């Protein structure tokens, strides 16, 4: 079942906990981990959470994989990136 706006907010909280951040994952961080491009990538995450837009199928699958414990090799690099 694809993620909805409520479960995406919960997913950001869980990922922040799983990755030792002691806070929810920021929208910009999730966008970088998902390798979303463009200046509006974080805004897209926020639009998904607000119900303004639907979470795409590929993003839903990727987030589910992250929640199940899979991590990209460059996770820390992506979390620490500035843009």
Q: Point out the residues of the chain with pLDDT beneath 50.
A: none
Looking at the domain assignment, is residue 80 inside a domain? Answer: no
Looking at the domain assignment, is residue 83 inside a domain? Answer: no
The total number of structural domains that make up the chain: 1
Q: The pTM is what?
A: 0.86
Q: Which domain holds residue 11?
A: 5-73
Looking at the domain assignment, is residue 49 inside a domain? Answer: yes
Q: What is the pLDDT of residue 45?
A: 95
User: What does the H/E/C string look like for the chain?
Assistant: CCCCHHHHHHHHHHHHHHCCCCCCCCHHHHHHHCCCCCCCHHHHHHHHHHCCCCCCHHHHHHHHHHHCCCCCCCHHHHHHCCC
Looking at the domain assignment, is residue 60 inside a domain? Answer: yes
Q: What is the pLDDT of residue 10?
A: 93
């Amino acid at each position: 079942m694809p993620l909805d706006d409520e479960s995406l907010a919960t997913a950001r909280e869980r990922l922040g906990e799983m990755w030792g951040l002691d806070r929810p994952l920021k929208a910009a961080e999730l966008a970088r981990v998902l390798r979303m491009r463009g200046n509006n990538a974080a805004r897209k995450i926020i639009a998904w959470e607000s119900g303004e837009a639907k979470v795409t199928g590929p993003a839903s699958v990727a987030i589910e994989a992250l929640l199940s414990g899979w991590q990209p090799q460059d996770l820390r690099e992506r979390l620490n990136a500035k843009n």
